[in-house]
Amino acid sequence: MSIESTAYPAKSPLIAAELEGQLLQLFQKLDRPVQLVCLLGQDEKSTGMAAFLNHITTLSPQLSCRFLAPGEDTALDERLDASLLPATGIFAGEEFTRAVFHGIPGGKEITGFAAAILNAGGAAKPLDRPTLRDIAAIRQPLTLHVCVSLGCQHCAQLVMHAQRIALENPLVTAHMVDANLYPALVQQHSIQRVPLTILNGGRSFPGGKTMAELTTLLARM
Amino acid sequence: MTHLIRKPLEPFSVHGYRQGESRLYTHEDLLGHWSVLFFYPADFTFVCPTELKDLGEQYDLFAAEGCEIFSVSMDSHYVHKAWADASETIRALPYPMLADPAGVLARQFGVLLEEEGQTLRATFVLDPEGRVALYEVHDLGIGRSAAELLRKVQAARFVAEHGDQVCPANWQPGEETLTPSLDLVGLL
């Protein structure tokens, strides 16, 4: 059973008129439905994210959102990682694109969030053949949590690379994590700088990476 | 007036004292690993042993970062030994105490107080090639924190190993959500 979207504000103060105009134009590229599925907690950030998604979905008829509480769908809890709420998964219709956002993708992360929607909506930027080959060379199941700060210029690009890899390779799931919201995670992994990418919940690697660097690194895992 | 960042270490040779043993130390002892040069005004003073003790207690943490510590004052190594003989705290220090009575190191790093024959309270962190990565210089009465220094060494080492593709993070809970700024170039 989903939570009614009307339980949350219809507009987000984070989406100002200029951004709204840019997103409206961008989302005209969507040629299939995109569903934003969000696991919400009881906290302020969850309310903020619900409002953000409510607002986003007014910008294209292809966009819809669904809100759930953790525990309603245990398979979804696992896919989206319900330990870090709010958690929003991007679905191409009913198909999970393996792109997840933890927290509100404000700051520079809005670009990655828009890219993930475009990816799911059939408007992904084309990749060249060597890159696709490198992505296909990743043969281990990998869950990436890319820990970011919303003002970090290196983070958004890395998130976009990771989520594009996830779109192309079903073995990879890529989570953007606004680390500021999850102090336990920060403490557990001694995060002092971002981006920091945690692989399968264990080892981590720091710093921004080009697509080629990231695919090479992941293929070695 | 200029800064000392990336200044290369110049050759030197001074005596040093470490846990009962004296020997010559040269610039080569500071190469191949991160190093801290920890200048303090003089032996047998009050603030200094607390700083030196603090640093000694965190020595293993610095070592885990591949960083060696060298304290420096303008006392001779005989005075260092006398201080160690007189003080259990100093005797236990795990790092070398360099003796710079001629002010060779103090002049090289610009921290000599000529008229007082002492150095300022100054810390220099050198990379494995002997270049200054960061430094702090305090007036005489202002003490330093080993924990702060360790964080800076970790940051310097991190940036050296991973380039500038990272942003330092100040994880204070409650940071406001930043206004989104869309990079259309990255999407089109």
Q: Confirm if A26 and B185 have CB atoms less than 8 A apart.
A: no
Residue of B nearest to A182 (CA): B173
Cβ–Cβ of A206/B178 closer than 8 Å? no
Q: Which 42-101 residues of chain A touch chain B by CB within 8 A?
A: 45, 48
User: Residue ranges of the alpha helices (H) in chain A?
Assistant: 17-26, 44-56, 74-80, 109-120, 129-136, 155-168, 183-188, 211-219
Span A160-212, pLDDT tens digits? 999 999 999 999 999 999 998 998 998 898 887 889 999 999 988 888 899 99
Could you say which of B36, B48, B69, B122 is catalytic? Answer: B48
Confidence of residue A38 (pLDDT cuts 50, 70, 90): very high
Query: Whole-angstrom Cα distance, residue A153 to residue B4?
Result: 28
At A180, list the tokens: 């500021």
CATH class of B13-161: alpha beta
Which domains does chain A show, CATH number per domain? 5-219 (3.40.30.80)
Q: How many CB pairs under 8 A join A and B?
A: 101
Q: Which of B176, B187, B188 to mutate to test the interface with A (most CBs of A within 10 A)?
A: B187
Span B10-33, pLDDT tens digits? 999 999 999 999 999 999 999 999
Lowest mean pLDDT: which of A85-94, A201-210, B56-65, B162-171? B162-171
Span A97-155, pLDDT tens digits? 999 999 999 988 999 999 999 999 999 888 999 999 999 999 999 999 999 988 887 89
Q: Which of A29, A45, A56, A110 to mutate to test the interface with B (most CBs of B within 10 A)?
A: A110
Is B67 catalytic? The answer is no
> What mean pLDDT is reported for chain B?
89
Task: Assess B141–A contact: CB distance below 8 Å, yes or no.
Answer: no
Shortest distance between the Cα of B83 and any Cα of chain A, in A, equals: 38
Cβ–Cβ of A193/B166 closer than 8 Å? yes
Q: Which residues are within 8 A (CB) of A208 and not within 5 positions of it... i.e. 6 or more apart? A: A154, A155, A157, A158, A195, B165, B166
Query: Whole-angstrom Cα distance, residue A93 to residue A36?
Result: 9
A22: nearest CB among B167, B169, B184? B184
For residue A63, count other CB atoms closer than 10 A to its CB.
20
Q: Confirm if A97 and A116 have CB atoms less than 8 A apart.
A: yes
Q: Confirm if A81 and A87 have CB atoms less than 8 A apart.
A: yes
At A77, list the tokens: 């809890």
Query: Whole-angstrom Cα distance, residue A102 to residue A82?
Result: 9
Residue with the larger pLDDT of the pair B168 and B20: B20
Q: How far is CA B127 from CA A124, B32, B69, B82, B161, in A?
A: 44, 8, 12, 32, 11
Task: Assess B163–A contact: CB distance below 8 Å, yes or no.
Answer: yes
Q: Which residues are within 8 A (CB) of B42 and not within 5 positions of it... i.e. 6 or more apart? A: B48, B73, B74, B75, B118
pTM comes to: 0.70
Cβ–Cβ of A191/B171 closer than 8 Å? yes
3-state helix, strand, coil in chain B (%, to 5): 30, 25, 40
B177: nearest CB among A14, A153, A186? A14
Residue with the larger pLDDT of the pair A3 and B168: A3
Closest listed residue to residue B128, CA positions, set B187, B68, B50, B42:
B68
Cβ–Cβ of A154/B183 closer than 8 Å? no
Span B102-119, pLDDT tens digits? 999 999 999 999 888 899
Confidence of residue B176 (pLDDT cuts 50, 70, 90): low
The strand pairing partners of A147, in sequence order, are A177, A196
Span B65-81, pLDDT tens digits? 899 999 999 999 999 99
pLDDT above 70 (res B163): no
ipTM of this complex: 0.71
Shortest distance between the Cα of A109 and any Cα of chain B, in A, equals: 7
**Chain A hits for B162, Cβ within 8 Å:** 206-207
What is the per-residue pLDDT for B173? 43
Cβ–Cβ of B180/A207 closer than 8 Å? no
Cβ–Cβ of A208/B171 closer than 8 Å? no
3-state DSSP call for residue A114? helix
Q: Which residue has the tokens 């906290």?
A: A43
At A120, list the tokens: 């799911």
Structure-derived torsion over alpha carbons of residues A160, A161, A167, A171, reported in degrees to the nearest 10: -130
Burial B140-162 (b: 16+ CB within 10 A, else e): beeebebeebbebbbbbbbbeee
pLDDT above 80 (res B162): no
Q: Which residue has the tokens 């393996």?
A: A98
Q: Confirm if B109 and B4 have CB atoms less than 8 A apart.
A: yes
Q: Confirm if B8 and B75 have CB atoms less than 8 A apart.
A: no
Residue of A nearest to B154 (CA): A192
